[in-house]
Amino acid sequence: MLSFFIPGYPSDSLTHSAFFLRVDRPTPPAPQPGQPKTLLLAPQQSLEEEAYYAWFYDGSPLTTILGGAAMVIIMLAGVMFPLWPVKLRIGVWYLSILALGLLGALIVLAIVRLIFWCGTVVVCKKAIWMFPNLFEDVGFVSHFLFDWV
């Protein structure tokens, strides 16, 4: 049994999650001194005692460190909200009311387009679907087109 097995943990999950990957050492001519040896990923990822394994780790990029620091600063700023100047707190109040209003307008628009569609289903042969791509991931103009269903 291999020494890095974790009790109660499936053995193939270590290779499945790519913490450790099985590699093969090709048999080319001996590398020159100071040159790294080449390794090839094995096509069959399974754990065996006699096999070679590599640990793939990308390190900690600068953006991850800066993102973590920004999250800590934002959390501290949010916790210290009562200490903010009055003008800044009022500005945050207006921004939150604006965001709530936009969310409410989006919900009202969804309900209005459903009522409009139900009305056109009853009256016309083909229904008119108002803003069919309203909640889709498309371009800005494509959100606001009408479509015959």
Q: Supply 94's token pair.
A: 């207006």
- Determine the pLDDT at residue 80: 95
Residues in the chain with pLDDT < 50? 1-9
pTM over the 0.75 mark = no
pLDDT of residue 5: 46
* Distance from chain centroid for Cα 37: 36
Q: Give the model's pLDDT for residue 7.
A: 47
Q: What is the pLDDT of residue 17?
A: 55
Write the pLDDT tens digit of every residue in 66-106. Answer: 999 999 999 999 999 999 999 999 999 999 999 999 999 99
53: nearest Cα among 106, 3, 119, 109: 3
- What's the pLDDT score for residue 86? 95
DSSP assignment of the chain: --TT--TTS-TTHHHHTTSEEEEE----SPPPTTSPPP-EE-SS----TTSEEEE------HHHHHHHHHHHHHHHHHHTGGGS-HHHHHHHHHHHHHHHHHHHHHHHHHHHHHHHHHHHHHHSSS-EEESTTTTSS--TGGGG-EEE-
